[in-house]
Amino acid sequence: MIKVGIVGGTGYTGVELLRLLAQHPQAEVAVITSRSEAGVAVADMYPNLRGHYDGLAFSVPDSKTLAACDVVFFATPHGVAHALAGELLAAGTKVIDLSADFRLQDAVEWGKWYGQPHGAPELLKDAVYGLPEVNREKIRQAQLIAVPGCYPTATQLGFLPLLEAGLADPSRLIADCKSGVSGAGRGAAVGSLFCEAGESMKAYAVKGHRHLPEISQGLRQAAGKDIGLTFVPHLTPMIRGIHATLYATVADTSVDLQALFEKRYANEPFVDVMPAGSHPETRSVRGANVCRIAVHRPQGGDLVVVLSVIDNLVKGASGQAVQNLNILFGLDERMGLSHAGLLP
């Protein structure tokens, strides 16, 4: 049984991680921390977990207690994992970080986008970017895993086949993405209020979103050259879900794109390439660790449109973290994650 610790379990990714681990046959949550909720029982804060974590309560983070775990998940705001990750790694504990702290390989770039100096630049060389469809073999040997963000997951999985095959013009990529309100986190904010977000949709961070350098980093590696990406996120009046509409131009219009995508993801348990002409819906992946993709070439021209949908809290965060856990410990990658999405 894998002994699990969770730092910062009171947010949406934290409770989703608890929900998924509750049905994992090889993982046991031994420690969960929260400075603000120390002493509160997990089942009291999250009634949906009653009967699953009875006796487990939030505690103040303690490095020695956490180091006794086999693996520690960080479900925290950016900057928090910097302080503790080094100590845990030195003690031999594996770290899976759901925050953005170790996603970018460039510490200076990280500081530019997150408004503070990187707190543990010495660890970046050892951090493995946890997108299994790209880095599965590196994840197997990792000690520190940086779980990709939600927008980056949907966007990269949609663009990868085109860039890896050298088909898309890498200088003219467009990602038009929509997110549910849970992507903003559980903290109180006016923009997330029901009366503000309901029955409305808006773009935001058009000048530059924190996920832009992460997406660009991954697409650059896939293309093997510099890329030009326009990324525009939108807030939509739903709780869960990411819908990425991706645009790329191709010089060779004779390539069977459906076959290309099906071949690329044929052995990926959590990427579903839908039949030609499909339009994947966010509700089809709600609660599931699946990315559903459809590829189109409207009017047979040189513009390719890829539709990519995920649940931002599952394949976009906690589900992908558990997928990394399974790979890291040599388990079936689908363990604890094989459930279908929720409908309606």
Contact 145, 324 (CB under 8 A): yes
Helices 150-164 & 257-264, crossing angle to 10 degrees? 120
Instruction: Kindly report the number of other CB atoms within 10 A of residue 206's CB atom.
Output: 11
CB-hemisphere CA count at 13 Å for 173? Answer: 28
Among 312, 337, 286, 1, smallest CA distance to 184 is for: 312
Phi (first) and psi of residue 52, to 5 degrees = -110, -35
* Distance of alpha carbon 9 from alpha carbon 16, whole angstroms: 9
How far apart CA 88 and CA 4 sit, in angstroms, is 13
Q: Is residue 2 within 8 Å of residue 68, measured between CB atoms?
A: no
- Residue tagged active-site, from 150, 177, 195, 291: 150
Tell me the C-alpha distance between 31 and 6, whole Å.
6
Q: Tell me the CA distances in angstroms from 223 to 146, 157, 173, 217, 294, one per residue in order.
A: 21, 13, 12, 10, 21
Write the CB contacts of 163 (distance below 8 Å, at least 6 apart in sequence): 170, 219, 222, 223, 227
Nearest alpha carbon to residue 65 among 43, 81, 98, 88: 88
In the residue annotation, 195 being an active-site residue is answered as no
The two three-digit tokens of residue 179, written as one number: 């997110």
**Edge-to-edge order in the sheet of strand 173-179:** 202-203, 229-235, 173-179, 242-249, 303-310, 291-296, 271-273
Residues 88 and 74: their CA atoms lie apart, in Å, by 12
Contact between 59 and 33 under an 8 Å Cβ cutoff? The reply is: yes
Task: List, by residue number, the catalytic residues.
Answer: 150
